[in-house]
Amino acid sequence: MTYKYLIVLLLIIFTSKLFAQQEDITISLYDTYDAYKERTLNKRRIKHEDLKPLITEYRNNHKFDVITAGNSIEGRTLSLISIGKGETDVFLWSQMHGNEPTATQAIFDILNFLDSDDFKDEKEDILNNLRLHFLPMLNPDGAEVFKRRNTLGIDINRDALRLQSPEGQTLKRVRDSLSANFGFNLHDQSTYYNAERTDKPATISYLAPAYNYEKDINEVRGNAMKVIVYMNDIIQKYAQGQVGRYNDDFEPRAFGDNIQKWGTSTILIESGGYPGDVEKQEIRKLNYVSILSAIYTIAKGNYRDITLDDYEKIPQNDRKLFDLKIEEVGYELLGSEYILDLGIQRPEVDMKDHNDFWYSSRIVDQGDLSTYYGYETFNANGYILKPGKVYPKTLKSIKELDMLDPMELLKSGYTYIRVEHLEKNISKSPIPLNLISTNYKIPKFNLIVGKNPTFLLTKDQKIEKAVINGFLIDLNTGNSNFVNAMIYR
């Protein structure tokens, strides 16, 4: 055995051992997550007031340094929480868009982890080598009303050049004051993204933003790509095939692109969809595990050994998912029968206090949707789509709904119920039939894009299934993931 061969062999063994150790850490982080989850933040619609007592706790904790880095347009504080004594600065900011809070919750899980007495050796590696800085909610005014933009009505992520918003000014000032080596730009994306050419939702999507139109790769951007490759390997263990990669076209106004340009290795993380995870709590856990693991590999420095080629192997983001896809359903129109696929999405409508929501579904596409996918897919070959009827009896109030059997009404072909007194404070129907006022006239049924999907599915002239406000209901078994129907006044 030659000396050169021996050196290479030892290097391979050493590198394999390092990555095996990190894999063990990742598994441990995933398995022990519940011990560090911040349980006061258990829904997506979190607000600045929800964070204030948590930030106060860290302000009073000697392990952390907490400063007010700036204020929003409406005067809400933008807090920066720092820990560690290393020479490498890592800056994480979240909720630049007010309705994108998944990583904000994960940040407080990470802070709980850092404050604990567990994982002593790993935390010693992290905190001796790194200085971590967290800005958990950059757009608290948007979060207050669960809106993407700030009070000025601008997208903060397109304010890196003009810097007209105080939130954008704060982000720039903090980045510059730290001269951060690494930056994590944390967002949520639409749940309708999928990993390219698959039916898998893009549960997590990554991007190492370009810093010029040529999409050059220097050391700064290359390091971001290497960390992303490492994070992708982690996510694949828990959400196999559910990772996407954003298009890296240069956007000169965007903060991510510019922070990369300014010398901080910038990693964009987008939290998308996960089946059955409406409040994105499993995705929050994946953020926690992957970000902490990435921080650890940065602290150890072994991300440098990762090949850049693997970055391009991550499937690109696509947007071909529906909440419900109905395939090959028969549809009668003007005396002829056609076969259609239907793509249905369930947009959320915020309640008045922005603490909860209800669904107002839409048909967003129809025709040949063979290249699209659904979180739920039903092949309706042999079924005929039919409109529903109005129940002949008018109810006095919603309370009288308790006397009805919704499943029997659906089997009888009814999809609407008239109610004389529909209180204004009630925004959605709690049963799988739409409620209408005494004066409301149901439009002539027509299956077109943009319409609310409410209809029946018959087979051999028997009503077997119903779609009410975009929720598929099996009338034989009662199986459904129904949440709410509509109210039309």
pLDDT tier for residue 341 given thresholds of 50, 70 and 90:
very high
Give the domain range for residue 9.
Answer: 3-318
Q: Are residues 169 and 203 in the same domain?
A: yes
CATH number at residue 43: 3.40.630.10
Among the three residues 286, 318, 350, which one is the final residue of a domain in this structure?
Answer: 318
Q: Are residues 285 and 325 in the same domain?
A: no
Among the three residues 318, 353, 374, which one is the final residue of a domain in this structure?
Answer: 318
Question: What mean pLDDT value characterizes the chain?
Answer: 95
Q: What is the pLDDT of residue 209?
A: 98
Q: Which residues pair with 89 in a beta bridge?
A: 131
pTM for this predicted structure = 0.93
Q: Are residues 445 and 395 in the same domain?
A: yes
Tens-digit pLDDT profile for residues 107-139: 999 999 999 999 999 999 999 999 999 999 999
DSSP state of 162: T
Among 217, 235, 226, residue whose Cα is nearest residue 306: 226
Contacts with 85 (C-beta within 8 Å, 6 or more apart), sequence order: 127, 128, 131
The helix (run of H) or strand (run of E) holding residue 218 is none
The total domain count for the chain is 2
Q: At what angle do helices 281-300 and 3-31 cross, to 10 degrees?
A: 150
Tens-digit pLDDT profile for residues 16-40: 444 455 667 899 999 999 999 999 9
For 136-285, list the strands marked E by DSSP: 182-188, 194-195, 204-207, 243-245, 265-271
Tens-digit pLDDT profile for residues 132-164: 999 999 999 999 999 999 999 999 999 999 999
Among the three residues 287, 318, 349, which one is the final residue of a domain in this structure?
Answer: 318
Q: What is the pLDDT of residue 243?
A: 98
Q: Are residues 196 and 234 in the same domain?
A: yes
Q: Are residues 141 and 197 in the same domain?
A: yes
